[in-house]
Structure 1
Amino acid sequence: MDNEAAMVKKLIVNADDFGIHSAVNKAVCRGFESGILTSTSLMAGGTAFDEAVHLARDLDGIGIGIHLTLVGGLPTVLPPEEVPSLTWENRCLCTDYGELIRRDLKGLIRMDDVYREWDAQIQKILDTGLPVTHIDGHQHMHMWNHFFPIALTLAKKYHISCMRVPDEKVFFGLTPTPKGIFRFAAKNGLSLMARSHRPALKEAGIHTNDHFWGMMYGGHFYEHRMIFILNRIGEGISEIMCHPSADTAAMEKTFHWGYEGEEELKSLTSASVRNVLNERKIQLVSYQELKKS
């Protein structure tokens, strides 16, 4: 933990998937202009990327991260034939992290494909001229053990001095149902892996969040859940990851995630949420502030 961050409560509120759909782009704008959103992660392969870049130019002060992507059924930035181990399904990325990990454990993913695709994603975003504050990953695949060294190498190559560490608290979020138990176990497995990378990030001079929230509530960050988390924010730098959208039905029709993005947008713009922030003297920041520390 950075010493100067340890004495106060600072909070990054980051919307993932900026550029994936116009409904997300609109929600990011509303969440920043009328709510507590401070940061967003831009997806280079998103179909609404150009719109997101255009909108971001008017969002003065918002943090812009790079959302490294290897999953989601999305197109690659490089031509699919140049990264064949990543584009097995209709010349696009595979559907989810489970399939990607299974393929990787079978030795079917070429690390050179990962490096070159992520390098192209970073270059595409940097070429917009937008000031980049940090790196994170779609479904957190930047923390998968085989891919993390690539993310770290690219962060150093492009002098990106902050990276998300998604290590939600171990005992947080257990729901006694088969689906809930599976998600809880997956969350803790990823959190343990992410936590193990902190020494390498520190050695490389990469700043990180100290605490993280959003995996167990992903896509369902209702107002009461946001307030619940805010009441547990401690000293240091915390990050809340969210997935707001301005049109839940349109997102579900396209992606079938089961996310309730409009409810998440309501949480971000809630007066009750803002009141809790003020009462608990939590400072809203972005990764830009970590870069300065």
Structure 2
Amino acid sequence: MFNTFQLACFRRQLVVIASVGVVLLNSVVAVSQDAKSEKNTEPATAARSLIIHSDDAGMSHSVNRATIDAMEKGFVSSCSIMVPCPWFPEFAEWASQHPEKDFGIHLTLNSEFGSYRWGPVAGRDKVPTLVDKDGYLHRSKEEVQAKARPAEVEIELRAQIDRALQAGIKLSHLDTHMGTVLSTGDMLEIYVRLGLEYNLPVMIIRHIDPALAAGYPDLLKMNGRYSETLEAKGLPPIDYLFQFYEGKDHVARQQRYLETFRDLKPGVTQMIIHCGYDDAELQAITGSHFLRGDDTRIFMDAEVKKQINEMGIEIISWTQLREGATRP
């Protein structure tokens, strides 16, 4: 949530991210949603492929329960995990037992909520510029930009990846909470370099919306080059990115999602959602409790899945995206 890419919550509209360099994947691997394809290894033939990606796993018990349900009983095809959060161990235990599922690391340099906070994985003494006076990660992207030393950013991001690997999680990709890692040239370079070093795709998007890119000038400048570098190593980027983090009406929100899917362009699109159950725990943490609960409801609805299928869209994972890109 970007949350997880710090996509601005544009009111009543989906955020479409698009980048320089138009390169469409010739093949991806489709997710079969029936019981016979639990490991999701069938090749895709559709021109339009969709990763349904839930951010913020590990953030809370409510988010964990909803994410697991949406991946097991719904049609969420991928998620990313916030390693510094208090409920990471619970989600890590489940993820380590399900290598057939698709898990990324939601590289986290922020702790944004009012009274529910977390600190760095590496330890406060090793990354003092990443924490506020109370020892928690900074609340905003701007604070990280102003205060964080790149060397300490790298220490912390490595610590998050390593902790997930040590927990036995099979990783499929890296992405970023609130878009912070993408917001300066130094952090962007670290992000891409870690993807190359750990041999993991990173969430880079070929087609960037100029309205969003205005807040990420270094990303706009380097996006094409990094996309080519990663793809040359068999670590494909996605083509488009959407997030709908607005609205108060279930029917209207569901219709907005379906309209967006209907209008998808050829290529690989990721839709970022935020699963959670709208319970007392989540209500105490964040004002987005309705949106998270509604996303869970929508992406566990068999009728929504049926309509996506009827549009000729293949739901895939990051693992399948990579397999399709490296297949001869």
- TM-score under structure 2 normalisation? 0.76
Aligned residues of 2:241 and 2:270 also touching (Cα < 8 A): yes
Query: Which of 150, 156, 168 is matched with 2:196 structurally?
Result: 156
- The higher relative CO (CA closer than 8 Å, separation ≥ 6) is in 2
Query: Which of 110, 130, 147 is matched with 1:86 structurally?
Result: 130
Superposition pairs for residues 22-171 of structure 1, below 5 Å? 22-59=61-98, 61-72=100-111, 73-101=117-145, 103=146, 108-145=147-184, 146-160=186-200, 162-165=201-204, 170=209
Aligned Cα RMSD in Å?
2.4
SS at match of 1:17: strand
Single out whichever of 124-133 and 11-20 deviates more from structure 2.
124-133
Q: Does 1:247 align with 2:278?
A: yes
SS at match of 2:214: helix
Match of 1:18 in 2: 57
Query: Which of 229, 235, 244 is matched with 1:203 structurally?
Result: 229
Q: What's the offset of the Cα at 1:192?
A: 6.3
- Measured against aligned partners, the alpha-carbon deviations of 1:199-240 in whole angstroms (never above 9, x if no partner) come to 2232243311111001xx226593122112111112111100
Aligned residues of 2:57 and 2:63 also touching (Cα < 8 A): yes
Kindly tell me: are residues 249 and 89 of structure 1, through their superposed partners in 2, closer, same or farther at Cα, counting changes over 3 Å?
farther
C-alpha separation in 2, matches of 1:262 and 1:165: 27
SS at match of 2:26: helix
Letter aligned with residue 207 of structure 1: P
SS at match of 1:77: coil
Unpaired runs of 5+ in structure 1? 172-184
Q: What's the offset of the Cα at 1:41?
A: 0.2
Letter aligned with residue 56 of structure 1: A
Match of 1:275 in 2: 306
- Measured against aligned partners, the alpha-carbon deviations of 1:252-277 in whole angstroms (never above 9, x if no partner) come to 31244566211111111123321221
Q: Does 1:285 align with 2:316?
A: yes
Unpaired runs of 5+ in structure 2? 1-22, 29-45, 112-116
Letter aligned with residue 211 of structure 1: Y
Letter aligned with residue 159 of structure 2: A
Match of 2:26 in 1: 4
Aligned residues of 2:183 and 2:216 also touching (Cα < 8 A): no
Aligned residues of 1:75 and 1:92 also touching (Cα < 8 A): yes
Kindly tell me: are residues 263 and 270 of structure 1, through their superposed partners in 2, closer, same or farther at Cα, counting changes over 3 Å?
same
- TM-score under structure 1 normalisation? 0.84
How many residues align? The count is: 271
Single out whichever of 111-120 and 125-134 deviates more from structure 2.
125-134
Q: What's the offset of the Cα at 1:100?
A: 2.5
Aligned residues of 1:11 and 1:282 also touching (Cα < 8 A): yes
Q: What's the offset of the Cα at 1:167?
A: 7.4
Q: Does 1:230 align with 2:261?
A: yes
Match of 1:181 in 2: none
Q: What's the offset of the Cα at 1:60?
A: 5.5
Match of 2:245 in 1: 218
Kindly tell me: are residues 218 and 19 of structure 1, through their superposed partners in 2, closer, same or farther at Cα, counting changes over 3 Å?
same
